[in-house]
Structure 1
């Protein structure tokens, strides 16, 4: 391509283009500002030097995705990118994109997603860069991108006709090779290589088979779910709902939890469906919910780890287990029983990726409905759903009629139960949130909370430890500080406070509460009942209501 074809556009920096743990997320109208998207894409290219690169491009299909893909094509051509692999119609679930990067040995990828955040012209958009292992860019790259956005003065592009994203096949744009591929095919093949689809199919169509309902929440997983559940496992079309991917997610909030996935909860309860599941906007989160049986993400990853031996991919054993710091300790007990290495990492999938690349981690999870393994370098919603079907199929071989609740109660009997919940206070005043965090930091620093006892409706809680969670990566030695404020109590209970970086405006304060018990009389209790007193104490210590002016959270999970 002649340099004469490259157009250099003068620009000025925009404030606040700092990528968080999952890229840059802002309102669509912000990305639509003149030069805004182009600035950020050029900053990525200035940081990674993509000359000769093969990059994967695609996303969750939310509003503004297709214009953004065209911008990326034009800028990539001007910056010496050799080849783009793009999902048909600009679509890739986040796990599928991670797999494509790894399978085709691409140098990285640009993912267009704001994950579980609402979509549409008045809602959110996002751009994330993934590296060659298929995982999110580490901080040294995101920091470099941010520095570039603060000083950018020009970006480069090649003008030309839009590339038709609707046709699978090879094409080119100003010397840039472009492969437009089926976004589902490779991912389905990956899952078929991991799980025992024959066993699952026999179980679902056998005498002890359970009715299944998957809810795509109008996110990207719709076509993937139909390929898995209807086309491959032979389930009826009624086994999937809300599986047409829409740019605004049907006006809903594509976050698979008890608050936002009410369409699944209502259908499962109404039809008394034994196995229900949902995924989020970009397909990396999941919720497992059967009639009368909700599986917390913390319990889900622990159960999958405990039953890993029935999944063909793990027949050789587990390398290690891990969870994010705020996630309950349920998986810790599994790691100890199996005598495998265990890690507690900050929130952010990239921390798991380092351990996986070093061959030290097999299965991991985050309490924010993210579960996965070393088959890719992102969390994977449909992987977790199929893992549960594989486990149920194996359990029913030994004991027909085994359901989700039976699996959970057997797990608690073996390991104890970690009652766990998360309270999200979304779009609160950033100033108020930081004042609350500062007050807690001061109490942690002077250790004034230690040995204090707090009354509650369910008994006393005595503070045993108070600290800020810092993490030193055992692979590369990098240090991540201020990853959450932790209070541990004498009975082993734990409370964590954390400011989230996944929202597009304001601040989100997350409160995590966990109480562990080995008392069988507690195993079937409602989560709210099991945590009532501890939540009272957490709110009192943090003075959250006074600081944030909120009587109740936006979401409880």
Structure 2
């Protein structure tokens, strides 16, 4: 039986760049989850008997919300829901399922790279029929619905157990429990030359993949160890846990320090990688070298033709605005389009659907292609392995060769976390107020060539996004970007992106911190970071 239950709206259910994210206790408030899910269903208002995909990264509270979502889907007219066994689906695997099964959309439960557990973070986002995150025109309507909601609809019977593959019924709705890994692994085998990678591994090439007790453990184990023949134990921390084993599932130099330390040893593995909570981000490490996400995007785009799926070349490259301009030089040499978008994978969807781009990336460790409509950590690892197998070179050799051809972009991101929101907003407003007079100003040895508050007009649908981050560009190829992150759950995170282009190969071996020292100092003085926040050092440097 379908029940209609009275409720009252919450004022804070505005989705960020990747859905609604809050602390678990916040989501556990009465009807908080139900309100947001009903607002989604009311907004998308698909025809009856449509298919909905449901799954998440397995963090604490995932199972509870999967069960609620199944019952509410049944009450809102869906004909079928496809659920990952145990409520598990990596974000790229969910995107693939939506596309492969012709679903109307999907509910993905994740707070990505944020920590989990009873006091950790949780998130809900809606992906549309192309498999990608809902665009702003939809998320804005969802938010408006949350502000006026008076009731939600739910099926009175409990959801069936989803710990075994099979089918069930809830009222008129069919529930299909699927292997969360199989379809995705099959797709990867279509995209890449698995035999070439098997041969590389069989030759003694050693891999270490840190799944960080997050969702990609089963995916990496199936693909790397079972299908590609890597030895058992290649995947570490491979069991997904509700609290990520007490760790922080963010694949960067801080939280993947043990993996990086292992790759820095002379007798360490040849290749290391890590992924995040929901499987859409990646870290690439070579023997003695950490590859920045911006460099990884550029290298993957320049070498994509070495993998079967991209043999005929790529249509174009898209990158988020704060991502370094290294990929721009690749696009120019290949003679393809380069698109600079706001942060958030949803901005790539129209470009991918229109065939304008093939490879996309963000500096926050996300890269992907037109095979799905999400960034994809395991995909990036496999493309790297395919390139390594074809070129028969190590990561360092490939990076040094790339820099010799295109020049090196030194790059860092400095995160100042959990700043009081008022102070963070004040810092950004002060920067915006000074933009008009900044061009031509000298800071140390550098002169500002242009400064603006980034805005974006989608070339496909004409939609406009404003206030996407302050850019300060210096003559000679230096750049500083300031923006507030939309992926945190408390306070505000100020992100400062610092880059400098160096064409001279003789200087490519310089330490990034030294190469960027002057720009780092300028960022603090121009942004008035210490003055306005009291912070003298970033919490995280990546």
Task: Report the 3-state secondary structure (helix = DSSP H, G, I; strand = E; otherwise coil) of the residue aligned with 1:151.
Answer: coil
In the alignment, which residue of structure 1 is the partner of 2:22?
Answer: 26
Q: 2:401 aligns with which of 407, 410, 416?
A: 410
Name the count of aligned residue pairs.
Answer: 540
CA distance in 1, matches of 2:43, 2:534: 41
Q: Deviations over 1:391-425 (max 9, x none)?
A: 100111xxxxx211100000000000000110011
Task: Report the 3-state secondary structure (helix = DSSP H, G, I; strand = E; otherwise coil) of the residue aligned with 2:42.
Answer: helix
Instruction: Tell whether 2:274 aligns with 1:278.
Output: yes
In the alignment, which residue of structure 2 is the partner of 1:148?
Answer: 145
Q: Deviations over 1:441-473 (max 9, x none)?
A: 0001xx222222122xxxx11111110110000
- Quote the offset at 1:358 in angstroms: 0.4
Q: Which runs of 4+ in 1 moved over 6 A?
A: none
- Quote the offset at 1:193 in angstroms: 0.4
Q: Which structure 1 segments of 5+ residues have no match?
A: 397-401
Instruction: Tell whether 2:325 aligns with 1:329.
Output: yes
Alignment of 1:39-438 (within 5 A): 39-50=35-46, 51-206=48-203, 209-270=204-265, 271-396=267-392, 402-438=393-429
CA distance in 2, matches of 1:522, 1:246: 44
In the alignment, which residue of structure 2 is the partner of 1:35?
Answer: 31
Q: Deviations over 1:127-159 (max 9, x none)?
A: 000000000001111001000000001111111
- Quote the offset at 1:268 in angstroms: 2.5
Task: Report the 3-state secondary structure (helix = DSSP H, G, I; strand = E; otherwise coil) of the residue aligned with 1:244.
Answer: coil
- Quote the offset at 1:341 in angstroms: 1.2
In the alignment, which residue of structure 2 is the partner of 1:450?
Answer: 439
In the alignment, which residue of structure 2 is the partner of 1:544?
Answer: 529
- Quote the offset at 1:491 in angstroms: 1.4
Q: 2:503 aligns with which of 518, 539, 556?
A: 518
Task: Report the 3-state secondary structure (helix = DSSP H, G, I; strand = E; otherwise coil) of the residue aligned with 2:516.
Answer: helix
8 Å contact 2:95–2:131 — kept in the other structure?
Answer: yes
Q: Deviations over 1:10-61 (max 9, x none)?
A: 1100121001110000000011111110010001011011332200000000
- Quote the offset at 1:524 in angstroms: 1.4
Q: Which structure 2 segments of 5+ residues have no match?
A: none
CA distance in 2, matches of 1:29, 1:55: 27
Task: Report the 3-state secondary structure (helix = DSSP H, G, I; strand = E; otherwise coil) of the residue aligned with 1:440.
Answer: helix
- Quote the offset at 1:290 in angstroms: 2.1
Q: Deviations over 1:100-139 (max 9, x none)?
A: 0000110100000000000000010000000000000011
CA distance in 1, matches of 2:372, 2:448: 39
Q: 1:480 aligns with which of 465, 481, 484?
A: 465
- Quote the offset at 1:272 in angstroms: 2.1
CA distance in 1, matches of 2:251, 2:7: 39
CA distance in 2, matches of 1:490, 1:216: 41
TM-score with structure 2 setting the length:
0.98
Alignment of 1:456-475 (within 5 A): 460-475=445-460
CA distance in 2, matches of 1:87, 1:411: 40
TM-score with structure 1 setting the length:
0.96
- Quote the offset at 1:501 in angstroms: 0.6
CA distance in 1, matches of 2:382, 2:45: 38
CA distance in 2, matches of 1:79, 1:365: 36
- Quote the offset at 1:304 in angstroms: 0.7
Instruction: Tell whether 2:503 aligns with 1:508.
Output: no
Task: Report the 3-state secondary structure (helix = DSSP H, G, I; strand = E; otherwise coil) of the residue aligned with 1:70.
Answer: helix
